[in-house]
Structure 1
Amino acid sequence: MNYTPKEILSFVEENDVKFIRLTFTDIYGNLKNIAIMPDELPYAFEHGIPFDATALAGCHSDLLLFPDISTLSVLPWRPKSGRVIRFFCNIKCTDGTEYKGDLRNELTEYINTLKGQGYSCEIGTKCEFYLFNTDDNGDPTKIPHDNASYLDIAPLDKCENVRREICLSLEEMGFNPQSSRHTYGPGQNEIDFKRSDVLSAADNMVYYKTVVKNIAAQNGLFATFMPKPIENQPGSGLHISIAIKKDNEHIFSPTPENQTEIGSHFVAGILNRIREITCFLNPITNSYKRFGENFAPKYVNWSFENRSQLIRIPYTAGKHPRIEIRSADAACNPYIVFKLLLAAGFEGIDNKTVLSQKTFTGDTPAKFDELPESLREAVELAKASDFVKMNLSPEIYDAVFSNLDYTLTKYNMADDKIKFEDEFYFNSI
């Protein structure tokens, strides 16, 4: 929304706002914030709020948080009296220059470059999560909240009321949820978002997890986005849909007969780079337990409609045509992932990369390349990739790989790998 600082200050006063959360993500995609009082907001707009950034990767000094006025949201689960609002922030150095590790700025600059070339992009997400019961102390258990399955209804679906509350909270915050459902696993749920501009889609994806976890906790439950929290049960994925226009004309088509050449090049570009960027779409060791099971992709392929493929081109009667990338999970950093997916697709357009006509129908899986089988393999492919190095700032590149190397070292040292993943990911993802 297009507000002015004066309008924001009037809103704060008229709506009994007592706390303002200045939100940002670190280089790993973890949500961070500083809370300020209303009297500090005019200073924040003009000068930024300083914070000690030495704990952030790739930074050795103070940084400044500048609220992005367009991202104002009221936190609906906080008290109505003494309200709390939130802004996403742009990060700058104390000399006024852009902080090179600012993920939002990196993504914004890339999108502006595409706009200059006549492209407009929208992204939507479908994100799964599990709801678990808590014990008498309020700590999470591994007992799913119900034993329902795909599209079940109450009383089998005990998650229905929580999902409704989550969707209403998201809507109140301006997130535009589109649909929700119980999905295949016990206690497993999915909420779909309408497509929006790329930066808003990344912001919403980051905060979506916080909304889900807060509403779950208020209902005495625990929510996790861990890709594979229960053995022998479906994993939780993040499906990313991309719609693109060139000079106001859609580049994708929902039918094979009308598929454009430029759209085919875009899909081919992603398939060409997907193995190199998988460690960003699937950044934890647990991610790789999901591949190849319960409709999660395993092979580098594409298809119209088929839901088990890496890239699906769905039928979209009366709606904007799009493609859907189905390998990612919610442990990823959406700012990085969205940029890399778009960069790979547009590289395909620039190079006129030919899309293989081998779809899954009629071909055996052995004819397709496979996604990496482990985080280590994915990291090795990414480190060897000039494409990855070219599309990430040195600050982000170095910090991300440092974190991935640390994760792999800890995982390799663990005697009990399942216990390690539960302790490392179950509560934090």
Structure 2
Amino acid sequence: MSRYSREDILRTVRDEDVQFIRMQFTDIFGQMKNVAVTASQIERALDNQIMMDGSSIEGFVRIEESDQYLWPDPDTFAILPWRPQYGKVARLICDVHDPDGGAFVGDPRGVLKRAVRRAADMGFTFNVGPEVEFFLFQTDDDGNPTTATGDHAGYFDLGPLDHGEGTRREICLMLEEMGFEIEASHHEVSAGQHEIDMKYTDALRAADNLMTFKLAVKTLAQKNGLHATFMPKPVCGAAGSGMHVNMSLFRDGKNAFYDPSDPRKLSPLAYSFMAGLLAHAQGFCALTNPLVNSYKRLISGYEAPHSIAWSSSNRSALIRIPAPRGQDTRLELRSPDPSCNPYLAFAACLAAGLDGIERGLTPPEEIVENLYAMDAAQLRSHGVAELPDTLESAVAALEADEVITAALGPHVAGQYITGKRREWSDYRAQVTPWELERYLITY
């Protein structure tokens, strides 16, 4: 059942003095875009008549087929509370459609909707709860971001050590005003690093929420003279920012991962879903960890996994089983980072898990030892493979994984792989400060 009818939106726009509506959508590489219309155009917007030039969006369409239309999802209507309270600004998250009315095959939101429909055909609802980390940095006199934090706080510290506490509090309150359920927020392990955890919801709404979350964090940080970044590893020698993704399948309103008769209280479905995630972890890594910089986080010693293993409690494993059971039973995938496109990342994880269920896969033995302390020979003796160590190898693994590329579809897979290979090529051509410091004088 829809949360908002057409009449609800028209009445709210009128009664709340909404003057602008942002018609938002997301490109293949996870960047939010929008076409803004005035309140006088709201009926045209709700009739799917707002057009945009798709050829101007990387990975969308060619210039000779550029016209595309934004079809708003009424359930995503929300007033942006950080905008002016006189002449308010609202948003609608949109699906991208071709002129003939068909869904555009390159729309990331459409990719996730297809994956969710596949799960629904199997009787499942896919729920996702992300735990998002980010840094708050100071800006210089010209307003440009630095990597200075101004605080000396660590894990779970609070003010006055935590200089970002006020901004984090403001973010949580604004998001709750928009209907988000924030479960927790706290300072993370690195100076200037923060985490905000959102309660699980269905995957499409979770991805929509995550895009809104990123916008809110960056906007409110800027308002407070700070720069927020979801870059995975902005500071050498400090822990990077991850986005642990908690996943579960529900069937007939009950958590399908829970089985009270199992020693770990996990159902056969949970084990098969987990086995699918492990089997395709290399294949979807380019989606969950999409940047050159992502792979500087996935190394030992900085609380990020690099070994493809699972554990009931071991936080060095790729997949962990958090303690709650019953309706809260879930798998926690610890590798993703917040720079990912959530629509593509969630779709890939769902495709991997469903493949595990369809093929009746079983996971390898649980690893209880600290994987960070194992060398390559020890990992091999346990039969543990590792995640790709560069974007280049991750893209190669994605291209070779037929299950994940099929979930993306030929258009998105092709454009994404091409774009990421270009990013890797650009990176390889750079001369970094580390190289200059290391080699310029010595050689």
TM-score, length of structure 2 as denominator length: 0.91
Aligned to 2:87: 82
**CA 1:283–1:257 in 2, change beyond 3 Å: closer, same or farther?**
closer
1:3-82 correspondence runs (5 A): 3-56=4-57, 57-60=59-62, 61-82=66-87
- Which secondary structure state, in structure 1, belongs to the residue aligned with residue 100 of structure 2? coil
- Which secondary structure state, in structure 2, belongs to the residue aligned with residue 339 of structure 1? helix
Distance 1:339 1:296 in 2: 22
1:334 aligns with 2:337: no
Contact 2:280 2:401 in 1 (8 A): no
Aligned to 2:438: none
Aligned to 1:422: none
1:231 aligns with 2:241: no
The amino acid that maps onto 1:269 is G
Provide Cα deviations, 1:250-285, integer angstroms capped at 9, x if missing partner.
Answer: 232497432221211110110011011111111111
Distance 1:358 1:143 in 2: 40
Provide Cα deviations, 1:221-278, integer angstroms capped at 9, x if missing partner.
Answer: 1111111100001100010001212344423249743222121111011001101111
Aligned counterpart for 2:166 among listed residues 161, 164, 179: 161
1:310-329 correspondence runs (5 A): 310-316=318-324, 320-329=328-337
1:267 aligns with 2:269: no
**CA 1:47–1:384 in 2, change beyond 3 Å: closer, same or farther?**
closer
Distance 2:209 2:370 in 1: 39
Distance 1:145 1:192 in 2: 24
Contact 1:131 1:145 in 2 (8 A): no
Contact 2:154 2:190 in 1 (8 A): yes
Distance 1:209 1:258 in 2: 35
Provide Cα deviations, 1:123-181, integer angstroms capped at 9, x if missing partner.
Answer: 00001001111112211111013110000111111111111000011111122221100
Question: Please, what is the CA RMSD of the aligned residues?
Answer: 1.7
**CA 1:362–1:75 in 2, change beyond 3 Å: closer, same or farther?**
closer
1:347-366 correspondence runs (5 A): 347-361=355-369, 364=374, 366=379
- Which secondary structure state, in structure 1, belongs to the residue aligned with residue 189 of structure 2? coil
**CA 1:246–1:140 in 2, change beyond 3 Å: closer, same or farther?**
same
1:280 aligns with 2:287: yes
Aligned counterpart for 2:391 among listed residues 366, 369, 375: 375
Structure 2 unaligned regions, length at least 5: 436-443
Provide Cα deviations, 1:57-89, integer angstroms capped at 9, x if missing partner.
Answer: 241311001211100111111110000000101
Distance 2:252 2:179 in 1: 28
Aligned counterpart for 2:427 among listed residues 397, 411, 429: 411
Contact 1:262 1:349 in 2 (8 A): yes
Distance 1:417 1:393 in 2: 39
**CA 1:236–1:256 in 2, change beyond 3 Å: closer, same or farther?**
farther
Contact 2:182 2:197 in 1 (8 A): yes
- Which secondary structure state, in structure 2, belongs to the residue aligned with residue 142 of structure 1? coil
**CA 1:418–1:79 in 2, change beyond 3 Å: closer, same or farther?**
farther
**CA 1:393–1:257 in 2, change beyond 3 Å: closer, same or farther?**
closer
Structure 1 unaligned regions, length at least 5: 420-429
Distance 1:13 1:415 in 2: 55
Equivalenced residue count is: 419
Aligned counterpart for 1:145 among listed residues 146, 150, 169: 150
Contact 1:301 1:360 in 2 (8 A): no
Distance 1:209 1:358 in 2: 34
1:131 aligns with 2:136: yes
Deviation at 1:415, TM superposition (A): 1.2
Distance 2:128 2:78 in 1: 20
Distance 1:359 1:378 in 2: 24
1:183 aligns with 2:188: yes
Distance 2:51 2:84 in 1: 27
- Which secondary structure state, in structure 1, belongs to the residue aligned with residue 23 of structure 2? strand
Distance 1:186 1:325 in 2: 24
Distance 2:434 2:78 in 1: 38
Distance 1:418 1:175 in 2: 42
Q: Select between 181-190 and 245-254 the one with higher mean Cα deviation.
A: 245-254
TM-score, length of structure 1 as denominator length: 0.94
Distance 2:86 2:264 in 1: 57
Q: Select between 106-115 and 223-232 the one with higher mean Cα deviation.
A: 106-115
Distance 2:67 2:253 in 1: 42
Contact 1:28 1:333 in 2 (8 A): yes
